Structure 1
Amino acid sequence: MNAASVHRDAWLAFAQLCGPVILLMFVLGIAIGVLQTATQLRDSSLPFIVKVIGVAVLSTFAGPFMMAGVEQYATRLLLAIPRLLHG
């Protein structure tokens, strides 16, 4: 593991952790926006509540998958510190 792979792996772990949440927020935002436009309902709490519930459900079911990337990255990084420091 060299400095470039540390950087690349950090971005991959970040994407695995945040990607599902960002994608879910995007899909829910578009769906609620279309629903609000179709029904002419302009309540600002509706998208917030739906997104909070969506993230809670996503964290419950996909949380282990999301954290696995961070755990693997942290383990590899901690094991590679001596090699990174001593060249």
Structure 2
Amino acid sequence: MTVPDWFSLGAVNTFLAIAGPALATCLLLGVGGAILQTTTQVREAALGFVPKVIGLLVLVALGGGMMLRFAENYTTHVFQSIPEIVHAHASR
């Protein structure tokens, strides 16, 4: 069965729109926390964990709606295209 090009590209774009900001936030806060721990020589696990959790909560509060709309639009498009994909496959 041949999958339409928009299907794979849309899945990758949706993944990047949802996971990308969270991964970037954790990366930046993790590097910042590691630099802080190295410079102050404080070895506390909470210094690496708490800023990431707070950053993700802020991210979800500010951009969660946008991320959810992106996933909703892609999912709606996929479900609306099922008859077209099935019909194209059945006519072969």
TM-score, scaled to structure 1:
0.93
Identical aligned residues as a percent: 33
Higher relative contact order (CA 8 A, sep 6+): 1
**Across the two proteins, how many residue pairs are aligned to each other?**
86
Residue matched to 1:57: 58
CA distance in 2, matches of 1:53, 1:34: 18
Q: Which runs of 5+ in 1 are unaligned?
A: none
Q: Spell out structure 1 runs of 4+ moving beyond 6 A.
A: none
Q: 1:18-44: per-residue Cα shift (whole Å, max 9, x none)?
A: 100000000000111111111001111
Distance in 1 of aligned mates of 2:37 and 2:16 = 30
Write the letter of the residue equivalent to 2:52.
Answer: K
Q: Which has the larger radius of gyration?
A: 2
Q: Secondary structure at the match of 1:41?
A: coil
CA RMSD after TM alignment: 1.0
Superposition TM-score, scaled by structure 2 size? 0.88
Unaligned runs of 5+ in 2: none
